[in-house]
Chains A and B, each alone.
Chain A
């Protein structure tokens, strides 16, 4: 499941920044290419691709810092959507 989540995110980032190859735990913010514009694109991408809405309290840098952090975020949101739907 985590790999399913990470794959499209990795593809989205590497389509934008082809020179960068990312480890799952690598801090993308430390690489210096994330400006507010790209961060917004990333949030939109995550919401659209996984059909989730990231609530304000989850919209923090730490949740978008690494592939694993984003995968955890999506998993958590999908889980809570499933629970509230069921």
Chain B
């Protein structure tokens, strides 16, 4: 059952070619029914990853000539919402793959594009975004992984942690310190010296196949450097994180929708002493909050997507705002969803517990709730001073 959160208002439901109907059908029939099992098993089946490629969903934003479908960012956001409604671990895979593929498209040389994009477009090669380290997360400038220039190219040493899709990715986008500044490198996962260890037992997005990645004297050629040397922080990193944030925001709208769907279905069946849950006003209050915060989140995402499609720099702040609202609203809705389900809210037989754990992840990754509060407030003071 799908409860409409919103449709059409402000053109947010634009769906050229009916792609969203197809994606929704895919998520409903091939993702959502298996999400609990994948969560329990802590992995996504290879068959699913292949299927995403068959449907052209790994990088549809690439132009047709580069293996994509020229999809707008606004539509891509809706795609990530639909996938996120089915399973946040699958959406996480799409998030990091988008960040890596966009980096190659936007900042890569012709040679790098030719070498990597065809396989990234189909998903034959999956990307992992490697920024966080054991001792540096929110403060990326504290990262300690170093790339040293040598005659044959670069030698990389360091440790990255919490890489989504790290267990299966073939191409790592690794951020390193170079002569005091930050640069980005494309490192094939099978390069000698790259050691990948699965991280298991995490609380949320449990099937996102996280990995710790140690790089020991990893030697790469000069063509591994992607984007401006020494200025990756303001270009590759900020740009990729902006898209990651957008994808997580849209995925959070999917969580909100899934909470609403689950709660309306459950409360329509479950009866307590005072009647059916759906008839009780305190329950209805929670349902109405999910509807309103979900609609607001979707509109904020649509606005961020529209600004991306217009190459408008205002998209960066719009995306912070969208992600802050969508992720915190998804957390609140998922908490209510567990509450509404009572003991069943703690059971793997219902989606509420998984949605609750997955929503919390969205509050930590791609700029935590606190960093968003700091950034948005800073902008507010600037705007008022204007």
Contact = CB atoms under 8 A, between A and B. Distances in A.
A, B: real partners: yes
Interface of A: 15-19, 36-37, 39-45, 47-48, 56-57, 59-61
Nearest to B310: A48
Contacts of A56: 107, 109, 227-229
Interface residues of B, number: 22
B198 interface: no
B85 to A, nearest CB: 29
Contact of B375 (A17, A18, A37, A45): A37
Contacts of B238: 36-37, 39-40
Interface string B308-327: 00011100100000000000
30 contacts: A15-B386, A18-B382, A18-B386, A19-B385, A36-B234, A36-B237, A36-B238, A37-B234, A39-B234, A39-B238, A40-B235, A40-B238, A40-B239, A40-B313, A40-B316, A41-B316, A42-B313, A43-B234, A44-B311, A44-B312, A44-B313, A44-B316, A48-B311, A48-B312, A56-B107, A56-B227, A56-B228, A56-B229, A59-B235, A60-B230
Contact of A61 (B231, B313, B385): B231
Contacts of B385: 18-19
A35 B312 CA distance: 18
Interface of B: 107, 109, 227-231, 233-235, 237-239, 242, 311-313, 316, 375, 382, 385-386
Given A40-B238, A59-B227, 20 more contacts: A15-B386, A16-B382, A18-B382, A36-B233, A36-B237, A36-B238, A37-B234, A37-B316, A37-B375, A39-B238, A41-B316, A44-B311, A44-B313, A45-B313, A48-B311, A56-B228, A57-B228, A59-B231, A60-B228, A61-B231
B373 to A, nearest CB: 15
A57 B231 CA distance: 10
A58 to B, nearest CB: 8
Contacts of B234: 36-37, 39-40, 43
Nearest to A15: B386
A56 B165 CA distance: 28
B382 A17 contact: yes
A44 B311 CA distance: 7
A14 B181 CA distance: 27
Contacts of B312: 44, 48
Contact of B231 (A17, A18, A47, A60): A60
Contacts of B229: 56
B382 A59 contact: no
A48 B313 contact: yes
B270 to A, nearest CB: 46
B2 to A, nearest CB: 36
A48 B309 CA distance: 12
B53 to A, nearest CB: 29
A40 B241 CA distance: 11
A16 B381 CA distance: 10
A42 B234 CA distance: 10
A15 B383 CA distance: 8
A42 B231 CA distance: 14
Contacts of B231: 59-61
B230 A40 contact: no
A22 B228 CA distance: 26
A86 to B, nearest CB: 22
Given A57-B228, A59-B228, A40 B311 contact: no
Contacts of A44: 311-313, 316
B311 A47 contact: yes
Nearest to B107: A56
B119 to A, nearest CB: 22
Nearest to B233: A36
Nearest to A58: B228
A18 B313 CA distance: 18
Nearest to B227: A56
Contacts of A59: 227-228, 231, 235
B271 to A, nearest CB: 51
Q: 6 tightest CB-CB pairs across the interface, nearest first?
A: A39-B234, A59-B228, A41-B313, A44-B313, A40-B238, A36-B234
